[in-house]
Amino acid sequence: MKYWEKPFGKEKPKVPNGEIHILKERCKGCGFCVEYCPKDVLEMSDEFNTKGYHPPKIMNEEDCVNCGLCETICPEFAIWCTLKEEVALEN
């Protein structure tokens, strides 16, 4: 027997998808955003900024859920996220 989660015709639940913005020159490479992003969207890069720090790079932006944690944990005001779109969850 199959139970339907939602009544027919009701929209599927949606997850937000975010667009990440990084000001590489402000970053001091602390790694907080990379470590605590719940979706592991970020990774430290090998690139250097002018101060000699490694800023993060975006690995899989489609996984970003626009939770804003990177924005709040960053001590340098170097990273933030904006809502791109709400995507319907796959079954």
Partner 1 sequence: MEPLRKTEKDIHPMDDLLRMDRIPHIWCPGCGIGTAVTAFAAGLAKAEIDLTKTCIVSGIGCTGRVAGYVKLDSFHTTHGRAIAFATGIQVANPDLKVIVFSGDGDLISIGGNHFIHAARRNINMLVICVNNFIYAMTGGQVAPTTPLATYATTSPFGCVEPPFNIPYLADSSGAVYVARWTALHVRRLTNSIAEALKKPGFSVIEVISPCAMYYSRINRLGDGLDMMKFYHDNTEIRHGEDTKNLDIGFQTKIIVGKFVDRERPTYMDSYNKWLSGTKKD
- Write out the residues near partner 1 by the rule CB under 8 A: 21, 23-26, 28-32, 35-36, 49-50, 53, 69, 71-78, 80
Q: Give 30-48 as a DSSP string.
A: --HHHHH-TT--EEE-S--
Structure tokens at 81: 């996220």
Binding-site string for ligand SF4 from residue 51 to residue 80, where x marks contact by CB under 6 A and - marks none: ----xx-------xxxxxxx--xx-x-xx-
Is 89 in a helix, a strand, or coil? coil
Instruction: Give the C-alpha separation, 91 to 66, whole Å.
Output: 21
Give the residues lining the site for ligand SF4 (CB under 6 A).
Answer: 18, 20, 27-33, 37-39, 41-42, 55-56, 64-70, 73-74, 76, 78-79, 81
